[in-house]
Structure 1
Amino acid sequence: MRREPAVMDGVALLERAVTYVLGSLALADPAALRERTPCRQWDLRALLAHLADSLTALHEAAETGHVPMTAPTGAGDDPVAAVRDRARLLIGAWADPGRGTVSIEDHSLTAGVVTCAGALEIAVHGWDIAWSCAAPRPVPDALAGELLDLAPLFVSDVDRPHRFGLPVAVSTGASPSDRLVAYCGRDPSVSSAQS
């Protein structure tokens, strides 16, 4: 069965975001789990639990074509391992070319939209993980540039300041990674050690 180009691009984008977040996870050790994150209300453990739940929802979307609105499952005693395991399972689940749409409550979205939204969340949280570990790790330029083009579709004024912070001003010469995380309410010029 042939996959539609938008779905192929969404799955490829998701795969690249997962590769990036796995690299950021390599920086997280148990001592870092209490470190704060750019998401002001969360420490790294809470961020990883949120990311684990997001990965589970994206996996369900691939497996069943539906995202259940259930209580979060969390990440257990080893949130780094939980995120790593769920990220790897996620990529395998989206390898099936047959998924065309995904339902979320009473809404139907294309698989391309779901995978692109997932890629954005995963990549930005990959940046957050590295920030929390005081080891800046920019989102790769090509990935950040593509996600930056899509970000206005998934992050609007309605999402601010609850799901995302207000955009942060950056210089005109800022990297694609800095522009992406700034659009999502993170200050790329502030390291975790400074703030």
Structure 2
Amino acid sequence: MDTNEKQTHTKPLGGLLAAAVSRAVPVVAGIEDKALDAPTPCADYDVRALANHLLHVVVEFQKLAVKRDSDFSSPPDYVAEGGWRERFATEADVLVEAWSTPGAEEGTTGSLNMPARTVGGMALLDLTAHAWDLARATGQEYAAEPAVVAELTGVVERLAPTGREMGAFGAAVPVGADAGPFERLLAATGRDPYRV
């Protein structure tokens, strides 16, 4: 299969991000203030820190869609600024629009000069995995869109070795033969899909 044929069968990132956003926004909106200090499946983050991180991801990946430099070094404390739940919804829509723009998936972007499609996939992964993290930490339900899971399965396969070296992914967690695609995806990123 040549590259052009492969791209023909690939779903546009904008649509996949829109699907992920539609699942993530209700989770963020459902975070109560009393849950902000609760632990999450990401050992380095409590709910407040993870909400700040995810909002920063949404803001910075907008820049990467238009081939501008991003800065992930020190996320602002969006939660302390107030209105962060509403801002997340607004910025997430801007992210979808940015990655839906013609040319966003083409070429390379970011300081690592990575293929734009891969970079957009990283945004998709953060939106999906961290929405699950926040839902799990705050007692909410979360189910990923099947098309998003299918896309991310390939993204994680490509990124996992480097992601583990950089500490972004944990060691893969074993799952049973009856595990579904989303459970397998979470496990591949180092999350235990069964842990409450």
Name the TM tier (shorter chain).
Answer: 0.7 to 0.9
Q: Which of 50, 55, 60 is matched with 1:47 structurally?
A: 50
SS of residue in 2 equivalent to 1:145:
helix
1:75 to 69, 75, 78: 78
Match in the other structure for 2:3: none
Match for 2:107: what amino acid? T
Deviation of the 1:73 alpha carbon: 2.9
Residue pair 1:25, 1:129 contacting (<8 A) in 2 also? yes
Structure 1 position 172, deviation (Å): 1.1
> Which of 103, 110, 114 is equivalent to 2:109?
103
Is contact 2:65–2:99 with CA below 8 Å preserved after alignment? yes
Higher mean C-alpha displacement, 108-117 vs 70-79 = 70-79
Q: CA deviation at 1:66?
A: 2.1
**Contact residue 67 and residue 104 of structure 1 kept, 8 A:** yes
Distance 1:6 1:113, change over 3 A: farther
Amino acid paired to 1:90: L
Aligned residue identity for 1:34: D
Do the aligned residues in 2 keep the contact of 1:155 with 1:164 (CA within 8 Å)?
Answer: yes
Shift of 1:72: 2.4
Contact 2:58 2:92 in 1 (8 A): yes
Q: Distance in 2 between matches of 1:161 and 1:23?
A: 30
Consecutive unaligned residues of structure 1, counting only runs of 5 or more, are none
Q: 1:61–1:102: 8 Å Cα contact kept in structure 2?
A: no
Alignment of 1:180-191 (within 5 A): 180-191=185-196
Q: Which moved more, 1:87-96 or 1:53-62?
A: 87-96
Cα distance, 1:150 vs structure 2: 2.1
Distance 1:183 1:57, change over 3 A: same
Matched, 1:165 2:167: no
**Corresponding residue for 2:20?**
17
CA distance, structure 2, for counterparts of residue 59 and residue 161 of structure 1: 23
1:50-107: CA deviation from partner (whole Å, max 9, x where unpaired) = 11111111111124x12333542342423433322221221122232133234322x4
Moved beyond 4 Å, runs of 4+: 4-8
For residues 143 and 180 of structure 1, do their structure 2 counterparts lie closer, same or farther at Cα, with a shift above 3 Å needed? same
State how many pairs are aligned: 186
CA distance in 2, matches of 1:5, 1:74: 41
| TM-score, length basis structure 2 | 0.82
Contact map agreement 1:33 1:44 (CA 8 A) in 2 = yes
Structure 2: give runs of 5+ residues left out of the alignment. Answer: 1-6
Q: Among residues 142, 152, 161, which one is paired with 1:137 in the alignment?
A: 142
Residue 49 of structure 1, CA deviation: 0.8
Tell me the secondary structure at the aligned position of residue 109 of structure 2: strand
1:155 is matched with 160
**Paired AA for residue 113 in structure 2:** S
Q: Structure 1 residues 102 and 129, CA, compared in 2 at 3 Å: closer, same or farther?
A: same
Give, in whole Å, the separation in 2 of the partners of 1:15 and 1:85: 12
